Structures are given as structure tokens and as C-alpha cells.
A and B are shown apart, each in its own frame.
Chain A
Amino acid sequence: MALLPNLPDVLIIQPPPAFISFESDFTQKFNILRAWESPLPLDQFLTTHAQSVHALLCRAETPINADVLRLLPTLKIVVSASTGADQVDKAECRRRGIAVTNAGNAYAEDVADIAVGLFIDVFRKISAADWYVRKGLWSSKGDYPLGSKIGGKRVGIVGLGSIGYEVAKRLEAFGCKISYNSRSERPSLSYTFYSNVSELAADSDALVICCGLTDQTRHMINKEVLSALGKDGVVVNIGRGAIIDEKELVKCLVNGEIRGAGLDVFENEPHIPKELVAMDNVVLSPHKAVYTVESVKKGGEVMIANLEAFFSNKPLVTPVIYG
């Protein structure tokens, strides 16, 4: 019987979609420690089986906080399936000398496509009109109300990273005018930079939230920003729910203080504020902006590339923190 080569150990607490869909891509290169399949509670599993593990592969929804990290004394790298790696306590990783990698650009195009799809949907009422037709109201009640032209709209992109850039490129093709707020200006781009997101909102017909969730961006889209955006304004969020003060957003929508919203993310997924269910100027998406077969596969490839680089002491492909 041939001996299998000694594959390096990789711990997974909850499998990311790329692992679920393309498991053999991973298992042919790594020995997976399957915490989710164990009857043991997580901390017991880690203390029993993961004391010498160097690499952790984690999905966006699994928090890798100080408590988890404490149970992994030899951990050297966290490979995140998400673009932001927001679920990882980066400060603690930095303190411990643990490298962190993210999904890089793997999802940028697909996320941008959803952002633009939601944007068009809200302005042109596509989902609402589809519902109207399915209920038989086109034949019985007549034409659906007018939408609003997309060309010429002033769009404020919040966070001009790889995703925000793809959104900008697409909306330009529709004749929109692009401005942005970001951590830092990108002078090589011709879009107008706003250092203040409230001022960006005041000069915009729509805000598209493309940034990650950090201490600075938590509830950044607040009452003041929504007010500045105004009652003809639209919000699209494909970042993280908590970037927007969700309670305030719901109030604005209920009171007609903004025109509408397209939301892929929420503060307390999978729960959405019940007030939104009845509104036809809101389009709801179950946090699936990355979810195409192609981008799940690509994300998996990036994760595998980072793990291979780590195990062969080569430079990491998409580091967020260098270990």
C-alpha cells in the first residue's frame, strides 16, 4: 500500500463555500482538520486536535477573535475566504505575529455586478414591476409607475477599492457621474474625491457602499449622511450591514426621507427589519454578491495559493497582515 505524502494540516472551523463546492482541490494538497464535523464543542476540539496547527482557513461568517486564537498556540496564518477579512481580529493577529490573507480581487467583478444590478433595480423598479406582473396587476390595473433615468445620475462610491473601482467602471458606461469617498485619494483616477462622506452624499443621487467594516466605518452612514443624501437619494450596500445605521435607514425609508435602497447585507443576517418586507422601493438580497460558481472557484484558488505559499515559505499572494 502506497503511503500518502505527508500533507500539511489546515484547520477549518466552518467550511467556506469554495471548500464545499471544490473540496478535492483542497484535500489533494492539505490535510483538513474538520472542526465542524466533530461532536466536540469547538474549544474542546481545538485543545484536543489543533495544538500544533499552523494554518486556519476561515469563512466570512466565522469570527476569529482573541478567544479562538488563544486556543491555537502555534497558529501562523489565517486564510480568509472574504475580501475584507473583517471577521478576523487583526490587532490580535498582529500582536501574535499571525499572518492574515484575504480573497484579494477574486470577487470584485461579481460583487460589482450585484451592486449595479441592485442600483438599476431600485431606480427602474425592476423587481417591484416583476412582482406586479406576477400578481396579474398589469392586466387588471394597467401600467406600473414611472421609474427614473439612470444616465446622468451622480453616484457617490463609498470605498474605492477593487470592488468600488469595478462599480465605477460599470456605472460610467450608463452615463453616471462618479465621485467617491475613500480612506485615501486615488489621484490617478479622474473621479472627484470627497474627504467627507456627508458632503459626498449631499452632492449625490445615490451612494454605493463598497468599503469594508472597520471601527471607522461602523455606522458611518448615519442620520446625517442619509439626510444629506435626501429624499430622491438611493443607497446600495454590498459592504457590510453595520456600515449603515440600519435602524436609521429603516426610519428614513418608512418616512419617505430617501427614495429607496438596494441591500445585500444587513446588521443581523439572516434577519432583516420587518418594515422592509412591505416596501417596493427596497430590493433585498441574501448576502450573495459573491455567489457565482465562477467567483467561488476563484476565491478557492486564491486561498489555496496563499496556503501553498505559506507552506513553502514563499511570499503570500494577498496578505492583509504579514506574519
Chain B
Amino acid sequence: MADDDHSELPTVLVLRRCPFIALLEPKCSQKFNLLKAWDSPLPQDRFLTTHARSVQALLSSGNGPPITAQILQLLPSLKLVVTNSTGLDHVDLAECRRRGIAVANAAKVFAEDVADTAVGLFIDVMRKISASNRYVRGGLWACRGDYPLGSKIGGKKVGIVGLGSIGLEVAKRLEAFGCSVSYNSRSEKPSLSYQFYSNVCELAADSDALIICCGLTEETHHMINKEVLSALGREGVIVNVGRGAIIDEKEMVECLVRGEIGGAGLDVFENEPNVPKELFSLDNVVLSPHQAIVTHEAFVDLGELVTGNLEAFFSNKPLLSLAVIN
């Protein structure tokens, strides 16, 4: 049919263009009528009041804009927010709960890829892979000789902060390397054999490394602070694949510069894409441009999950990845 009758297709609101939406569009536009706020000359608020009063579903990107109470108030018929991220810190969950708006996230799609990045960064810091890669490229192997010893991974005590789907995948991998895994999480998981710590400081004190796998909430904001980093100690390593703001970044940078912790592998930062410049000269730090999820395969899976959630919603079936909001 040359002229699609868009009113047949259910409407999905998208606020801002982004690469993910662009990737998704060809498939999505066959099943849904994509209502693109950015396409309109109207400012967003006016656009929503004029065109989006009967919209039931909103497709959101983890990169923004944040789905605030203000925006939600302009969408009286909204019943579903689908986001392409695992993290939900950009959505006003309290308001969604109040309004009875379901939220679906990317859940397990990324868990394996993020875990792979976490473990890759961990190995890199412990065994100095990126640093010695630079050493060899700089011609230093030939003239200066062997690179300094790294630190064995097997037998290390690793504390996982946040034992959700990502944390579990990290634990599984590290066990294969002979690490012993403990964790701190919102709640204990008695079915697992890993040791639970209710206090992240105590976890740090008993760990050789911390791997941050949790989401960013009010409770977890700057949870990894001076006290926790002190407890982790001079030989301790920290890896973060959660959100930058879970760590007090200024404090961590100072610890690294002063040699008060052993090293860090960081995929996320408080003010991306800006990375504290002090880190650029440190060899015991590995920096990753927030790409823990970035594989071709993950994007394909994500596209299917997002489309699947929307289809389920519009045909009154259970969502594929309903996020539980406590």
C-alpha cells in the first residue's frame, strides 16, 4: 500500500532523535506510528500538549532526555515507558509508580556484554595489558626491557557491588578464574553461595577488588566514598560499569594519584564524556568510553527487545522486561 494509514498503527512517542532510534526506525515504523517530538517546530511542551494527549507508550533513550514528572504530566494517557537502557536513573520512577505507568528496560540484553567489559577491565588493570601495549608500541620493550610484574588474578577476593543480572554474570566469570566472590546488594540472595555483606565498607575491607555493577539511585549516589576506598586499600582495585556517580569521582582520583588504591578500570564517569585529566598519566588505570554495552550483537538484541515490549503492550500481553520499581 503506497499510502500507509498511520491511524491503524499504535502510536509510540519519541522525544529526541538518537542513533539507537535511527537504527530501530525501519523495523518500528512498520509496526508503530512513531510520533517524533523533535520533528516539530513546536517546543517540546507545546508539542506534547497538542499532539500527545492520547499517547499510551513512550520510547526513551538512556542518553536522554530525562523522563521527568513534568513531561509525564503532559502525557495523561501514558501507560508505558520503554527504555533502551538497563539503568532507570533517567526516569522519574516515583511519578511512574504514582500514575501506574509501567516501565520496561533493557534488562538482561546487556548483562553478558557489560560483564565481559567488567572482567576485561579487571584483567587489564591486574595484568597491565593496556599499559604494556602502550609500552611495546612506544618502542620501550626493545630498549628498556621487561615490563613490571602484574598481579595474579586467581585467589583474589572480589567484592561485587550490586548482584543483579550483570553482577551475577561477572561472578560466574570470575569464579572460572579462581577468584572468590562476595557481594553487597539491596537484599541478600540466600540461594547463592557467595558471601553477602550488608555494608559496602566491610565488603571493601575484605576484598582485593570491588566491581560496581549496581544502578544509580539516591542510595547508591557516591556510595563508594573516601571511607570505602580507604577500606579497599593500597593494593585494591576498583572497576565501575554501573554509573559514574556511584563513586565519589574526585575522591577516587585523589586516591589514585596518591597511590592509596592500586588501580581502576572505569567505563563510566560522573560527567561523560569528560574524564578527569589526572587519570591520563596513570598506568594503573584503564579508561573506557561508556561502551560496556556496545557490541553489534547487543544492539540487534536490544532492538528486538524494545519492539517486543511495545508489541506485547499493544496486544495486552505481558511485557518482556518489566522493570520492578520498589
Determine if B150 and A292 form an interchain contact, defined as CB atoms under 8 angstroms apart: yes
Are A148 and B295 CB-contacts (below 8 A) given A124-B117, A285-B136, A286-B141?
yes
A255 to B66 alpha-carbon distance, docked (Å) = 45
Contact B280 A173 (CB under 8 A): no
Residues on the A chain within 8 Å of B289, using CB:
129, 132-133, 138, 143-144
In the complex, the answer to whether B120 meets A109 with C-beta atoms within 8 Å is no
Query: In the complex the two chains form, is B294's CB within 8 Å of A173's CB?
Result: no
Contact of A292 among B127, B146, B176, B291 (CB under 8 A): B127
**Which of B142, B153, B155, B272 is most buried by chain A, counting CB atoms within 10 A of its CB?**
B153
Question: Does A28 belong to the interface (CB within 8 Å)?
Answer: no
A174 beta carbon closer than 8 Å to chain B: yes
Determine the chain B residues whose CB is within 8 A of the CB of A189 once the complex forms.
none
A120 contacts chain B at the CB level, 8 A cutoff: yes
* Separation of A172 and B177 alpha carbons in the complex (Å): 11
B154 close to A (CB within 8 Å) = yes
Are A126 and B137 CB-contacts (below 8 A) given A109-B178, A120-B116, A138-B289? no
| Least distance between B111 CB and chain A CB atoms (Å) | 10
Task: Collect the chain B residues with CB atoms within 8 Å of residue A143's CB.
Answer: 289-291, 294
Tell whether A8 is near chain B: CB-to-CB under 8 Å: no
**Contacts A118-B129, A124-B116, A130-B130 given: A147-B136 contact, CB under 8 Å?**
no
Interface centre among B141, B274, B275 (most CB of A within 10 A): B141
A131 to B289, alpha carbons, bound, how many Å?
Answer: 10
**Is B150 a contact partner of A174 (Cβ separation < 8 A)?**
no
| B-contacting 9-mer, from A85-93, A222-230, A239-247, A270-278 | A270-278
A126 and B130 contact, CB distance less than 8 A? yes
Query: What separation, in Å, do the CA atoms of A184 and B164 have in the docked complex?
Result: 42
> Using Cβ atoms and an 8 Å threshold, which residues of chain A touch B189?
none
Chosen A-B contacts, 10 in total, with CB atoms closer than 8 Å, are A109-B154, A110-B153, A117-B127, A121-B133, A126-B124, A130-B288, A149-B297, A284-B132, A284-B136, A286-B141
A56 on the B face (CB < 8 A): no
Candidates B112, B153, B175, B286; contact of A113 at CB < 8 Å: B153
Q: Shortest beta-carbon distance, B105 to chain A, in Å?
A: 19
Q: Is the CB of A175 within 8 A of B297?
A: no
Are A293 and B129 within 8 A (Cβ)?
no
A134 and B287 contact, Cβ closer than 8 Å, known pairs A113-B127, A117-B127, A295-B152 = yes
Residues of chain B within 8 A (CB-CB) of A294 are 151-152, 155
Question: When each residue 143-183 of chain A gets 1 if its CB lies under 8 Å from chain B and 0 otherwise, what string results?
Answer: 11011111110000000000000000110111100000000
